[in-house]
Amino acid sequence: MTDDPPVMRLDPEQPTRRPHPEPPTGERARSGARRGARKLALVAGVTGALVAALAAARRLGRDTPLFYRSLRATPREWSWAGYRVVFYESAPTAKDAAAEPVVLVHSIHAAASAWEMRELFARLGAERRVLAYDLLGFGASDRPDLDYDADLYQDLLRDFLREIAGAPAHVVAASVSAAHALHAAAGDPALFRSLTLINPTGLLTQAERSGAGGRALQNLVRLPWIGEALYNLLVARPTLRWFSSRLYRDPKLEEEAVGQGYAAAHQPGARYAPAAFLGDALARNTYMVLRALETPALALWSPSEYLETAEEREAFAAIAPSIQQSVIEDSGALPHEERPGEVEEIIRMFWEDLSGS
């Protein structure tokens, strides 16, 4: 009698094992290899195209001529903290030159310069000593590789008032620079005769210093290869035209701003200061200084949705109701460019009230 091997019975509740697949052979193997090669070629092509695009972006604007002045005035140089700051001074008559000086401080963005103050410089400079300067990192001034922040620009303004203006001045500042001017006036009120703030930030927009995300963006733009490429894309003509269309209502002025901004933004070292702006490193909260401000001040607003000026103006009025305010209608975010006559008239009336008080 033979012992038969035990019969293995399958449990109907337990799934059977699938046999190991046999390695592909023949046509199946060749087909799989072709698919893998196509995927590899696609990845390589996309990577190569991206690298080529970034390399091309790095070369954008390299043929831009040297930017040596922002205003139609003789550029003058001032050595500040070891760097060259370019400024401009009007030439009023001897009688008018004795009046209190005026200092114009332009706003901050990727293609910023004192060019935006050209109308006020010409109009006010016919009768007063008017000074304007290109912020360090912008315009025709030096653009060193620094960690730019709000303190730097506040110190720059204070020292400019002491060393160049030489007397308490009427300061006119726009946007983020207006927030810096507010803090400078709070710290050194003797340097200021008055403050005119054009669409000032600091309560709702550009009110908080950069967090981790902002610092990461700032560091990315500062990088020597990819940062250059990304910055050049940011200040390419199509991008500048898109931003200008949101800042201006006048198409002709918009086109002028694109040409001027492109030249100003394509200078050696041009990306360092805008990188700080993009990362909110230049933001300054103005809540406390507005509550305690002693310097006579005027706030000018225009109905710009891009800058959220309506909400900012409401917050400003609630915190500083004693500060005179005026709204410039039918203008974009830069009323001193689009409605310079109206802005000039309001500022002059403000100064006359101060003289009579």
Tell me which CATH code domain 76-210+285-356 carries. 3.40.50.1820
pLDDT confidence of 256, banded at 50, 70, 90? Answer: very high
N- to C-terminal Cα separation, the chain = 130
Q: Which of the given ranges, 4-8, 24-28, 45-49, 323-327, has the highest pLDDT on average?
A: 323-327
Q: Is the pLDDT of residue 302 over 60?
A: yes
Average pLDDT of the chain to the nearest whole number: 85
Residue 237's nearest CA partner among 258, 222, 223, 256 is: 258
Average pLDDT over residues 178-186: 97
Residue 293's nearest CA partner among 204, 167, 193, 187 is: 187
| Pairing, β 192-198 against β 169-174 | parallel
Q: Is the pLDDT of residue 69 over 90?
A: yes
- Residue 301 and residue 323 in contact, taking contact as beta carbons nearer than 8 Å: no
Q: Is the pLDDT of residue 344 over 80?
A: yes
pLDDT given for residue 7 in this prediction: 47
pLDDT given for residue 93 in this prediction: 61
Least confident among 107-111, 129-133, 280-284, 309-313: 309-313
Q: Which pTM value belongs to this model?
A: 0.83
